[in-house]
Each structure stands twice: as structure tokens, then as C-alpha cells.
Structure 1
């Protein structure tokens, strides 16, 4: 049975397509595998923005930390532990000003942790969270996978990079895009993504 971690990060609530399709994928995999599902909603339950307490505390011995440093490190380790125990990670991200939301960026800043999720021990970066399957669902109003706006996609390319940096290299990407180009375009984009998700789940089965 798979342990599935669903991470959502869009502030758009019920209107969020990244949340909608990421949730559909996670629930579909859970139903097929009989596994467990943990949900991390980074809007309802946000990761703290990193502070000096976290930056200092994570490199100190536990008994040398202040109470504030201990709390910051424990909060970050809770997020890391969710990743460590997961077999499957489904991550939903809606583009905000060409990039991931600040909620998702705060989560990334907490879990990108030297000696914990990556290492330079061999002289080159080595991701430590290996052997996991990731489904990355990105949403954007415009079309960024190709064309004139492709150079402005600082969401998908960044997420693929940082996931790979910490060892999450087996990533399947699902894009929802072009939803602000009129009602017909939005309807077509949603239908296309829905079909892609169903094909993905059929393959998982």
C-alpha cells in the first residue's frame, strides 16, 4: 500500500484548478492502491517563512538551540518527515506572477535543508529524498509551455529543478494552461487536463 502525500498551495480556494486536479490524482491513486493519504494544504496550514532562528538552529546541536530555534527546526522537520515517509507525492501549484505562490516557496525554503534533504558530501549536490514518485500539477492563465511566454515560466522549471535537487527526480508533469484566453479556451484546457488525468490514473492502475 502506498503512502500518498498531497500538497496544495493555491490561494484561489475552490476555484483552483491545480488543487482540483492534484486532489483528483491523489484520491485516484489512493483508491487504486488502498494506501493512505496525507494532505498538506499550505494555504489553510501554511509553512512558516524562514527566519534567523531556522537558519541558525538547523546547523546547531539540539541542546544548544534556543526555544525559538527549536520550534523553527521542529516545524521544518515536520514537513521533511512528511516527504520522507511518502511513497507518492502529488504537488499542486498555481502560477502567481510567473512563479509559484509564496505559500509554496515558504514550504520549499523549509524543506531544502543541507544534510537532511540534500548533501554536498561527495563534492557535488546529491539529493537525499530518493525512490519516490512525484506528480506535479501546474496551472497558469496563459500558455507557458511553448511560444512567446515560455521564457517567463519561472514556476514549472523552478519546481522541477528544486525537486530534482533534493532527490525527487521521477516527476510526471501535468499542465493546465491558457485558462484566461476566453471561455472556450478555458473549457478546452480543463477538458484536456481531465482527460490527461484519467489516462494517468489508468496507467497507474
Structure 2
């Protein structure tokens, strides 16, 4: 099994999403020692945000490209190849200002590629990345999974939509929310997420 582990939390050792994504990947390694894990830290090594130059150069000949754009295209291809090679993808995705980190959005812009992960047909768009499992480690300061604040969730809802667009329907969310509502609430939320990681039968990933 090939596992792609993505982190996008900007708080380093204080990041709950990093703590939980590491716990899940450690469990995968323990249960499936033969699994290959590729790690991409989108904060330590951020991807450039998508630019008009990048899009315009996608179909250009190599000799027509300057060094900066050529390097950008090469990095985009590497990111896409990592994604396509993965059977299971673990995404650490904290909520920032009701959405996802811009670093994670930059990664999504490199994997949502027409002709590679989706295509348009006469009957509408078709995802080409079927057969993968994604586990989203979702962390939030408040409560957005239900109640009046749910309308402000542009983090989990967006990730499920864009992953579905590229053909991924096996999506599981491990959530820790209410992290900023007091020390006790934070401990409780993290403990519950860790319990889910260690006991949920649906997180027993197939090889």
C-alpha cells in the first residue's frame, strides 16, 4: 500500500492536526509494515500558488520556458505523481477563518488537473482518480459540524467536494473541534479523535 501523508498546519509542534495525522500514519505503519509512506509538509516546503504563467506554460515546449516556470511545472508534476501513486491519502487539514490553509489549497490546485484527475464529457465532468481512500484530519477552534455555525464550514465541505470531483468517494473525517473553547474541551476533543483513530473499524485501511 502506498500512503501519501499531507500536513498543512502552520503551528508546528503545537498543531493538533499534525499530532493526529502522525498518530494515524503511525497506526498504519504498525498494522501494515510493508506500507510505503510519502510525506509532504506544505508549510516547511510550500508550493507556489497557482499562477497565470503556470497555466499558460502547461502545454509549452521546454525550450520556450524560463527556469522559474520550468521548475514550477516540474514541482507540479511531482506533486501530481505522488497523488496518483497513492492508494491512501491522509490529509491534516486545520480550519483557518472558516476555510482550509492556503498551503493546502495550493496543493489541491496541483492535483486537480484536467486530463489527469478529471475530464469533461458530454454528460458532465468525470473524476479519474477513483479507487483511493482519503482520511481528513479536521481540526477546528469552534463547533461547525452541526448547529448555527455549520453554514460557515468551507473546510470539510470544500475538501469533500473537490475530492469527489476528481473521483474519490471513500472519504473519512476524523474531527477534533471546539479546540479553542477551553483547556478541558481541547483535551477532550483530542482524546476523542485519538480514540477514533485507534478503534474505528473503517480506519483499518486495506492494502
Given the two structures, how large is their TM-score scaled by the length of structure 2? 0.92
Q: Distance in 2 between matches of 1:139 and 1:101?
A: 12
Q: Identify the residue that residue 120 of structure 1 maps to in structure 2.
A: 120
Residue of structure 2 equivalent to 1:148:
148
Residues 115, 203 of structure 1: alpha-carbon distance in 2 compared, 3 angstrom cutoff = closer
* Aligned: 1:191 with 2:184: no
How many residue pairs match? The answer is: 203
Residue segments in structure 2 that go unaligned for 5+ positions in a row: none
Q: Deviations over 1:53-97 (max 9, x none)?
A: 211122x15447413443222211111100111111000111110
Q: CA deviation at 1:27?
A: 1.9
Distance 1:20 1:66, change over 3 A: same
Deviations 1:108-127 (A, max 9, x none): 11221111111103441111
Name the SS of the counterpart of 1:149 in structure 2. helix
Shift in Å, 1:50: 1.2
CA distance in 2, matches of 1:132, 1:100: 21
Mark the runs of 5 or more structure 1 residues left unpaired by the alignment. Answer: none
Aligned to 2:52: 52
Q: Determine the structure 2 residue equivalent to 1:3.
A: 2
Whole-angstrom distance in 2 between the partners of 1:25 and 1:151: 28
1:116, 1:39 → 2: CA distance? 22
